[in-house]
A and B are shown apart, each in its own frame.
Chain A
Amino acid sequence: MRVLGIESSCDETGVAVYDSEAGLLGHELYTQIKVHAEYGGVVPELASRDHIRKLIPLIDEILKRTDSVGAIDAVAYTSGPGLIGALLVGGCVGRALAYAWGVPAIGVHHMEGHLLAPLLEPNPPAFPFVALLVSGGHTQLVEVKAIGEYRLLGESLDDAAGEAFDKAAKMMDLDYPGGPHIARLAEQGVAGRFKFPRPMTDRPGLDFSFSGLKTFTLNTVTQNAEANGLPDDQTCADIAHAFQEAVVDTLVIKCRRALQECNMNTLVIAGGVSANNRLREKLETALAKINSRVFYARHEFCTDNGAMIAYAGCQRLMVGQTEPLAVTVTPRWPLDQLSHL
């Protein structure tokens, strides 16, 4: 079965063709980062305007490049969670395309897409596993028994980890999205100059909180600011280092705890923050000590992309799940409400 995947839940327009026999045939991504960077965050109306302009040309490109014109057996599109206007663009285009081609369509849960993205890699993890979904919109620990069998173990009570990266970056006048900029700056930082808290690690449970860390960062930036309102470059680097270590350590502690509570030894990390090299490095070291392993997708499939939607959609389509002609999108959609395969 050859599936066209469409992702348009936020600020990336992604398309891909996945074949259940041959694997991923190709993917295309148009990122709107430049559009939104001027505003310091995603402006939903601008995101929708860009999706509707870019989607058909991207689809045309991927179908031609993967030699899939006239060969698509089904269409998968992200139907939630995400920005409603942005989701509607991918949903309407995708569903109408499937109708015109006379093939089935399926709406895919964006976070299920992320969660399964590491299964596109050459040595995929085996079920069951614990997944850390960590992005600008989510920070969740999920027990995964099989596709569609998810149990929420813990989540952020306030900001997502990626959101904390974005906000910390903004405080130091770094570009949006903040993650890669904080990470790059942190490499020049001196360890130990600042000590940031590891929120909620001193008590049991698997929930997170990053808003206190955000306030701590703001106070540190303000206390060290010079006349222009910012600390000097080296101090910014030192703050970025301390901030990143605090977020990464917090995530590592909770991941290890989740594995032990579920009595499992496989961790999957997915979502934009799973591209953070420091997080990968520290998880590898920490999990090795408890005979566990961490799996993640290649960098380009950590952030939003069409490949994960094509893959996740294909798994559900192959067991006969499909969508009616009505396009329904679900901006808020808990992962554990998904149906089993």
Chain B
Amino acid sequence: MKILALDAATEVCSVAVWDGENVFERRSDIPKSHAQQLLPLVDEVLSAAATDLASIDAIAVTHGPGSFTGIRIGIGIAQGLSYGAKIPAIGVNTLEVMAQGYVNRHPSYNGYLVPALDARMAEVYWGVYRVENGILFEYKAAQVCAPENVTEYCEANLPSCYTALGHGWKVIATPAASVQVDPEWMPRASAIVQVAERQTIAQIETSAIAEPPLEPLYLRNEISWKKRQRIRPPNSL
């Protein structure tokens, strides 16, 4: 199974190809240029893997949480490739991809991972993952809330030595010294592959690859824009 993976959900973007044996990856950390970077990276990484789009079996993209514009750039490119080349596409969670990347880098890690991204407006996107023998499990689903609530939850529910990942931790109060904090940890496409593989196999097993498949996971949906006040009912004149 060959998987093409894309991530543009945060300040960095990357593309990876898993050809069944090896992962090929290309990254860019130039902010605010994901739309310019992503498709050239796709082309580059396909060449590096000595394959082409037609040979890809599935496309996976981080569908959120993250920057709304970034998420849509990733999904927009993935939608175009998926529809154009008739390849099924799935969305994967950015926080899970961050956690998976950590497991890839630290294969012997056992315990809890708490990836968090700064969501602006005094909130963070975060979730909790548990790693057992190199396998990642979702422990607390991704959500958006005030940084204080993350501190509160972690103190009450996690052992004292979890690992905190991502720039969300720049706005969450510094945890106890026993917690390892890496605020520079970012998602990367090479980690999408494992997440996608788990998800795709699960979806194939339940034959539930949806069409159209890609919906952004914004998490923040409350409308902060002001609705207009009407005097007479609309369309009455």
Which residues of A are interface residues toward B (Cβ below 8 A)? Answer: 37-40, 43, 45-46, 48-49, 52-53, 55-57, 59-60, 84-85, 88-89, 91-101, 170, 172-175, 181, 185, 228-230, 233, 236, 324-329
Contact = CB atoms under 8 A, between A and B. Distances in A.
Nearest to B39: A325
A327 B35 contact: yes
A76 B227 CA distance: 35
Given A175-B235, A329-B35, A97 B83 contact: yes
A99 B72 contact: no
A52 B68 CA distance: 11
A229 B80 CA distance: 50
A327 B39 contact: yes
Interface string B198-237: 0000000000000010011010000001111011101101
Counting contact residues on chain B (CB < 8 A from A), the size range is 35 or more
If over half of B's interface residues share one DSSP class (helix, strand or loop), that class is named, otherwise mixed; here it is helix
A52 B75 contact: yes
Interface string B27-41: 000000001111110
Contacts of B80: 92-100
Given A99-B84, A327-B36, A39 B226 contact: yes
B237 A56 contact: no
B237 A326 contact: no
A92 B225 contact: no
If over half of A's interface residues share one DSSP class (helix, strand or loop), that class is named, otherwise mixed; here it is helix
Interface of B: 35-40, 42-43, 53, 68-69, 72-73, 75-81, 83-85, 212, 215-216, 218, 225-228, 230-232, 234-235, 237
Contacts of B226: 39
Given A96-B84, A173-B232, A230-B232, A45 B68 contact: yes
Contact of B69 (A39, A88, A174): A88
Contacts of B43: 99, 325
Contact of B39 (A53, A170, A228, A326): A326
A96 B72 contact: no
B76 A175 contact: no
B95 to A, nearest CB: 21
B83 A59 contact: yes
Contact of A99 (B68, B73, B81, B234): B81
